[in-house]
Each structure stands twice: as structure tokens, then as C-alpha cells.
């Protein structure tokens, strides 16, 4: 299948066009795509073009990265969550949500909710989830729409978060041609827990911790550890094996971090209980300040002096640390990337980390607490 019909006047040198074409054909074959009119084929073509614009030149590298970014995850939930978010693309289900909430929200608010639904449904289709088939698509889209409306009524207006959490909810529902209203009603308002405003919710009493125990876990298809491990592998694939990655979770007091997945057991033991605070370093500092800590070279950073032996033992020079938190500012944990050589983070690196930490936040909040390693 040629890629030239998708270029739309974009100028690439002939050698790169040939590489893009080979990668496009290989990726379509891998995904079982045979029709140019298939919307997923268009998404694949756009991804191939995007990767070429980002500097990839060989068919193998372009194909590998395309597969990673389009459907690398083994679990449906995280697969859809890390698919590219691009609300500027042509809408596929615009107007579907109006049948349920046309008179409830201001037109500007409704536009945000439609963006969320369209984003969520596009990623469901791209992931080839069972809900995207003709037999179940109307029910799947209805579940997404009603769930998004539920969250919006609780005050949520972040389109990306609405899409991500709706996907998490849909992926846990039993496949059915008719969406059960009870399933939507049973979905506790996760956005309320996310903002930790449960004490003020009508009909709810008790502490935040106590109330979270009655929430129906959104993540049931795998443990938090397993799902975070998918994100770790996604990070490694995105960097073509140049980086190692890991997630750490904060204890109940928010005073220390514990390794969840990504690094060897010996490393996890060395850093278990790593302190959180403004006087810490790496992940401890990221969690303590709520901002990314990019250490280009640990040898050049005085704060790393007591820990250089660890970096040397596990063979890394660059360490990037990112907080994983809620919109209310509560720190849930951190995400780290390690490189063998000194390295600054590019904008693409920062965007990747933002996507993965956003997904991790939802996974940690809505799933059972992981067993730290």
C-alpha cells in the first residue's frame, strides 16, 4: 500500500519517501490493514509521516517506532491511554454526546466534553478493541458518553483526563450490545476522589482514605504493578532501548518512595525508603517539589556525591525524575529514566514523560495499591 496519497503536498526527499513507504507497508501488514479507506490506515500514515518529520530515516526504525506508539501495550487499557492525543484531527463521533446532555451544559462546556468523547473513541478504534466493532460500537460509545457526562457533572473539565478515565472504565465493562445503565450508575465519581473533595460530596461522609475504600476499582484486568510495567516497557521502546525506566510510589505519609517496577531487585533494595523533600535529590526531590528534575550528568551534580557509587554500579550517568500526582497536587509517586551517557531531555522526552505520568496517575489512583518491590 503506497504512502504517497497521504502526503498531501508535503515535501520529502525521494530516499525518505521510499523509507516511509516501506515502513508504512510493513506496519499495515503487521496490523492487518488492507484498505486505504480504513480510518486506522490513515492514522498509521499520519504516524509514519510524523516520525519522518521527527528525524527517523530508516524503514526499520520508523516501523518499530510506529508500532510502539500505535499499539505497543499488551493490555488494552494502557494501550489506548498512550495512543497519541490529537484533538485537531477530524472528529469521528462529533455530536454523539448531545443526545444525552444537550440541555445540561453550556455550549462551550459541551464542546470540551465532545472533544473528550471523540479522543476516547478514536483511541478505542485505533487499538482495535472489541468495543470498536460494528456489533458493539454504539453501546461502547454510549458508555463512554454517559461516563464523561457523569464526571463533568462532578466538575471535571479536563478533556484529556475525561478521555483517559472513560477508556479505563470502558475497558473493564462486560462486552454487550446494550449498555447497562446500572454499570454507569455504579461508577463512583473518580474525579471527586482525584480532587480529594469527598468530604464535601452530598451523601458521603468520612475521611478521604475511608471513602476511597468503597470506590469500585477501575483497574481490574491487571495489578497496578503489571500495568505500570507496561508503561515502563513503552518508555524503553520509545527510546529504542537507550533508556531504562522505573516507577516509584509514595508511602501513605508522603515521606518516602518505594520502587514498584523497572529496576533490578538489588537496586530497589538500595533505594527503598528514599526520602521525599526539597533537600533530597532525583525522585525524592521531584516528589518533594512537584516538578521534573533533569540531571544531565550525575557526576557533575554535588547532590549526587553520596550516591555516585550506586550510579556507577548500575551504569548510568543521566537521571531524569518526574512526579506522578493528581490535579489537586497530591504526589502519588515518581517516574524515572536512566541513561548510560550524559543527556539532556528534549521536548519530545518531556512530552513522553507527561503522557506516561498522566496514565500512571490514573492507574495508581483507580487500582488496588501495588505491592512494592
Q: Are residues 165 and 280 in the same domain?
A: no
Q: Grid coordinates in use for 174?
A: 462486560
- Based on the domain organization, do 353 and 238 belong to the same domain? yes
Residue 315 lies in a domain: yes
Q: Is the domain of 179 the same as that of 266?
A: no
The answer to whether residue 270 is domain-embedded is yes
SS3 at position 259:
strand
pLDDT at position 170, please? 82
Q: Do the domain assignments include residue 87?
A: no
Predicted confidence (pLDDT) per residue in 120-176, tens digit: 888 788 767 777 888 888 888 888 988 888 888 877 777 777 887 788 778 777 777
**Measured distance CA(64)–CA(67) in Å, rounded:** 5
Q: What Rg do the C-alpha atoms of the chain give, in angstroms?
A: 22
Q: Is-contact 108 155, C-beta < 8 A?
A: no
Q: Which domain holds residue 30?
A: 4-71
Is the per-residue pLDDT at 205 higher than 70? no
- Domain check: are 258 and 299 in the same one? yes
Highest mean pLDDT among 6-15, 36-45, 360-369: 6-15
Q: CA-to-CA distance for 28 and 151, rounded, in angstroms?
A: 36
How high is the pLDDT of residue 21?
92
Q: Are residues 339 and 247 in the same domain?
A: yes
Q: Which of 175-189, 269-283, 330-344 has the lowest mean pLDDT?
A: 175-189
Q: Tell whether 253 and 344 lie within a shared domain.
A: yes
- Residue 304 pLDDT greater than 90, yes or no: yes
Structurally, how many domains does the chain consist of?
Answer: 3
Among residues 317, 320, 262, 321, the alpha carbon closest in space to that of 288 is found at: 321
Do the beta carbons of residue 324 and residue 334 sit within 8 Å?
yes
Amino acid at each position: 500500500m503506497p504512502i504517497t496519497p497521504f502526503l498531501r503536498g508535503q515535501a520529502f526527499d525521494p530516499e525518505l519517501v521510499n523509507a516511509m513507504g516501506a515502513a508504512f507497508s510493513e506496519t499495515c501488514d503487521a496490523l492487518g490493514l488492507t484498505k486505504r479507506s480504513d480510518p486506522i490506515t490513515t492514522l498509521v500514515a499520519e504516524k509514519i509521516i510524523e516520525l519522518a518529520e521527527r528525524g527517523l530515516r530508516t524503514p526499520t526504525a520508523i516501523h518499530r517506532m510506529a508500532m510502539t506508539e500505535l499499539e505497543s501495550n499488551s493490555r488494552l487499557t494502557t494501550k489506548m491511554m498512550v495512543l497519541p492525543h490529537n484533538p485537531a484531527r477530524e472528529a469521528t463521533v462529533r455530536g454523539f454526546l448531545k443526545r444525552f446532555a444537550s440541555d445540561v451544559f453550556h455550549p462551550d462546556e459541551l464542546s470540551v466534553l465532545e472533544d473528550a468523547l471523540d479522543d476516547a473513541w478514536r483511541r478505542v478504534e485505533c487499538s482495535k478493541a472489541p468495543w470498536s466493532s460494528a456489533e458493539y460500537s454504539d453501546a461502547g460509545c454510549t458508555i463512554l458518553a454517559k461516563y464523561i457526562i457523569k464526571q463533568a457533572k462532578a466538575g471535571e473539565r479536563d478533556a484529556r483526563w475525561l478521555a483517559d478515565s472513560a477508556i479505563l472504565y470502558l475497558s473493564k465493562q462486560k462486552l454487550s450490545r446494550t449498555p447497562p445503565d446500572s454499570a454507569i450508575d455504579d461508577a463512583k465519581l473518580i474525579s471527586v476522589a482525584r480532587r480529594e473533595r469527598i468530604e464535601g460530596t452530598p451523601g458521603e461522609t468520612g475521611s478521604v482514605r475511608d471513602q476511597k475504600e468503597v470506590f469500585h476499582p477501575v483497574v481490574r484486568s491487571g495489578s497496578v504493578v503489571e500495568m505500570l510495567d507496561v508503561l515502563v516497557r513503552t518508555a524503553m521502546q520509545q527510546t529504542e532501548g537507550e533508556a531504562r525506566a522505573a516507577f516509584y510510589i509514595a508511602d501513605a505519609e508522603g515521606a518516602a518512595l518505594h520502587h514498584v517496577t523497572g529496576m533490578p531487585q538489588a537496586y530497589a533494595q538500595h533505594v527503598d525508603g528514599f526520602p521525599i523533600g526539597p533537600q533530597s535529590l532525583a525522585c525524592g526531590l521531584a516528589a518533594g517539589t512537584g516538578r521534573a528534575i533533569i540531571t544531565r550528568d550525575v557526576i557533575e551534580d554535588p547532590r549526587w556525591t553520596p550516591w555516585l557509587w550506586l550510579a556507577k554500579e548500575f551504569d548510568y550517568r543521566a537521571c531524569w525524575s518526574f512526579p506522578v500526582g493528581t490535579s489537586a497536587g497530591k504526589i502519588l509517586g515518581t517516574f524515572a529514566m536512566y541513561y548510560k551517557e550524559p543527556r539532556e531531555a528534549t521536548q519530545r522526552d518531556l512530552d513522553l514523560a507527561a503522557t506516561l505520568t498522566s496514565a500512571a496517575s490514573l492507574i495508581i489512583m483507580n487500582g488496588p495499591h501495588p505491592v512494592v518491590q
